[in-house]
């Protein structure tokens, strides 16, 4: 069995940002707000609501300030947003955000294509964002994309990931989310990269952001849990797809993560039925089925009038039909 698992995990919901930015069909601002308000009612404690990128880059998120100003803020829920630069930070702060996230990649080519800067230039530019954010009383998170593989360069040196994590911590971010941007990571690799990072940084300062593009996200998350990671990024329904593999799954689904954690006796505070309700509504907004496996099972059971819950860790093994 597992040597030690965290008793509680924070699910960091990224669907409104990382999900919607990759959806083809534009979602009206009022529907985004309703989506975020529905997420706030599920028991989630951290929701990334939008990105203050230049609207020319990602037109889907041009309404960032309206969304940030209009959502209903539930006490106990942290609301965050992505900011690419000083201008984005100013817009976010003006819109009342008190948690922001910066981002860069562990591989040069992806970083260059994503933000048109080298990694060193990106880190230098964080000086225009992180200290002013702190001065304004905002918390800052950081994303390290392509931490487990790059769509352009292939394998990524784990030492590059460690060096970036150390550098970001030195610059004062409260948490670093290691992203498997293209969903290529596998459990032994994740253990290798993460163990190296955890030699330098405490587990509380690390989050994991997996994509289920090749079906390995939950296995990778399990490795993270065993190493003491207690913040897991996910998107409702698995919203968003993968820009590098059209039609493939992207972000691991919040329902799938919540189901697994619930069944393992790890507290998340999240109500799975409410997640599924919200997810079903989002499916109609974006105009396609959500990839979430738990959601599909849940909807199928509901259609048949059944109700099933994760077996508790102490449950007696049962004989099941089918495989």
43 Rama sector, left if φ>0, alpha if ψ -120 to 50, beta otherwise: left
Report d(CA 240, CA 225) in Å as an integer: 24
Q: Which of residues 15 and 88 has its CB atom nearest to Mg ion in the complex?
A: 15
Q: What is the 3-state secondary structure (H, E, C) of the chain?
A: CCCCCCCECEEEECHHHHHHHHCCCCCCHHHHHHHHHHHHCCCCCEEEEEECCCCCCCHHHCCHHHHHHHCCCCCCCEEEEECCCHHHHHHHHHCCCCEEEEEEECCHHHHHHHHCCCHHHHHHHHHHCHHHHHHCCCEEEEEEECCCCECCCECCCHHHHHHHHHHHHHCCCCEEEEEECCCCCCHHHHHHHHHHHHCCCCHHHEEEEEECCCCCHHHHHHHHHHCCCCEEEEEHHHCCCCCCCCCCCCECEHHHHHHHHHHCCCECCCCHHHHHHHHHHHHHHHCCCCCCHHHHHHHHHHHCCCCCCCCCCCCCCCCCCCC
Task: Write out the binding residues for Mg ion, residues 6-45 only, by CB under 5 A.
Answer: 18
- Alpha-carbon Rg for the chain in angstroms: 19
How near is the Cβ of 143 to Mg ion at its closest, in Å? Answer: 8
How near is the Cβ of 321 to Mg ion at its closest, in Å? Answer: 37
Closest-by-Cβ residue to Mg ion is 18
Q: Applying CB under 5 A, which part among 124-132, 160-168, 249-257, 287-295 lies near Mg ion?
A: 249-257
* Catalytic residue from among 81, 150, 242, 276: 242
**Is residue 276 flagged as an active site residue?**
no
How near is the Cβ of 135 to Mg ion at its closest, in Å? Answer: 29
Give me the 195-234 binding string for Mg ion, x by CB under 5 A, dash otherwise: ----------------------------------------
Taking CB under 5 A as the rule, does residue 251 contact Mg ion? yes
How near is the Cβ of 12 to Mg ion at its closest, in Å? Answer: 11
Taking CB under 5 A as the rule, does residue 256 contact Mg ion? no
Q: Which of residues 122 and 249 has its CB atom nearest to Mg ion in the complex?
A: 249
Q: Which of residues 18 and 212 has its CB atom nearest to Mg ion in the complex?
A: 18
How near is the Cβ of 211 to Mg ion at its closest, in Å? Answer: 6
Terminal C-alpha separation, the chain? 23
Q: Which of residues 122 and 251 has its CB atom nearest to Mg ion in the complex?
A: 251
Q: Of 182, 105, 114, nearest to 151 (Cα)?
A: 182
Q: Which of residues 93 and 256 has its CB atom nearest to Mg ion in the complex?
A: 256
How near is the Cβ of 282 to Mg ion at its closest, in Å? Answer: 16
Q: Applying CB under 5 A, which part among 84-92, 99-107, 156-164, 251-259 lies near Mg ion?
A: 251-259
Q: Which of residues 175 and 251 has its CB atom nearest to Mg ion in the complex?
A: 251
Q: Which residues form the interface with Mg ion (CB under 5 A)?
A: 18, 251
Residues that are catalytic? 242
């Amino acid at each position: 069995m597992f040597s030690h698992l965290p008793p509680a995990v924070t699910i960091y919901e990224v669907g409104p940002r990382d999900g919607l930015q990759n959806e083809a069909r534009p979602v009206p601002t009022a529907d985004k707000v309703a989506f975020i308000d529905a997420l706030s009612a599920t028991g989630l404690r951290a929701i990334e609501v939008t990105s203050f990128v230049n609207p020319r880059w990602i037109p889907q998120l041009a309404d960032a300030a309206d969304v940030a100003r209009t959502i209903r803020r539930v006490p106990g829920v942290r609301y965050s947003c992505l900011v690419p630069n000083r201008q984005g930070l100013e817009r976010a702060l003006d819109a009342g955000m008190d948690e922001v996230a910066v981002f860069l990649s562990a591989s040069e080519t992806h970083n260059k294509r994503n933000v048109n800067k080298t990694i060193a230039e990106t880190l230098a530019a964080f000086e225009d964002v992180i200290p002013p954010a702190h001065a304004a009383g905002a918390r800052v998170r950081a994303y390290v994309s392509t931490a487990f593989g790059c769509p352009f360069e292939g394998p990524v040196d784990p030492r590059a990931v460690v060096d970036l994590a150390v550098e970001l911590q030195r610059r004062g971010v409260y948490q670093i989310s290691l992203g498997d941007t293209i969903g290529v990571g596998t459990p032994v690799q994740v253990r290798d990269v993460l163990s190296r990072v955890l030699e330098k940084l405490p587990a509380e300062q690390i989050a994991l952001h997996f994509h289920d593009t090749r079906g390995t996200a939950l296995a990778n998350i399990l490795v993270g849990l065993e190493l003491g990671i207690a913040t897991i990024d996910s998107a409702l329904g698995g919203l968003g797809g993968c820009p590098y593999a059209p039609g493939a799954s992207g972000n691991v689904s919040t329902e799938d993560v919540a189901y697994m954690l619930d069944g393992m006796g790890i507290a998340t505070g999240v109500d799975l039925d409410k997640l599924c309700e919200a997810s079903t509504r989002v499916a109609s907004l974006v105009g396609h089925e959500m990839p979430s496996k738990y959601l599909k099972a849940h909807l199928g059971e509901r259609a048949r009038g059944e109700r099933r819950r994760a077996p508790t860790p102490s449950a007696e093994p049962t004989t099941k039909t089918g495989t």
